[in-house]
Amino acid sequence: MQHFAQWLQATPLSIAIQSTSWLIPLLQSIHIVMIGLVFVAVLLLVLRVLGLARTDELPSVVWSRFAPWLRRGVIVLALTGLVLIISEPVREFTAISFWLKMLLLALGLSAIAVLGKALRRDAPASRGLAVLTLLVWIAVIFFGRAIAYDVEVWGALSFKA
């Protein structure tokens, strides 16, 4: 993976992204706003499953309201994330936090898909799955932020140590 990351970082696309001083901060800002948008959509869906918010509406109505925001947010997250990875592949691919984030992201997307299936049918959704989904998305946020501090977070376990 190290060789691939070094190759990718030396490509003209990566160099162009790295050398455009305003692009990475802009992409990071958009990425952070989108994780906030996705998290709030997930939070409101989870709160509906737990019976703590929007209980006056059918689950399918709540899903219909927040699913488009969730989908669009995830698409923008994926696009900005991909460009950020291309801009600094060595940093990303050598960070334990990055790989944990990717694993948890896959788990979080799967969990929300399962919850969404129940909500769309107005069927009872698992409260345990709802809580787990929320915790997974909190962990995605934490590990995303921890990428910049991977050595400090993981110490001797870090790939970079």
Delimit the domains of the chain by residue range: 2-157
pLDDT at residue 161, rounded to an integer: 56
The whole-number average pLDDT for the span 62-89 is 96
Q: State how far the Cα of 1 lies from the Cα of 9, in Å rounded to an integer.
A: 12
Cβ atoms of 84 and 28 within 8 Å: the answer is yes
pLDDT at residue 155, rounded to an integer: 85
The whole-number average pLDDT for the span 29-41 is 97
Element (H, E) at 104: helix 96-120
Q: Which of these, 113, 149, 152, 147, lies nearest to 133 by C-alpha position? A: 113
pLDDT at residue 158, rounded to an integer: 77
| Chain segment 3-23, per-residue pLDDT in tens | 898 999 999 999 999 999 999
Q: State how far the Cα of 10 lies from the Cα of 134, in Å rounded to an integer.
A: 38
User: What is the pTM for the complete model shown?
Assistant: 0.90
| Chain segment 113-136, per-residue pLDDT in tens | 999 999 999 988 899 999 999 999
The whole-number average pLDDT for the span 49-76 is 95
State the chain's mean pLDDT as an integer: 94
Q: How confident is the model at residue 75 (pLDDT cuts 50, 70, 90)?
A: very high
Percent of the chain with pLDDT over 70: 99
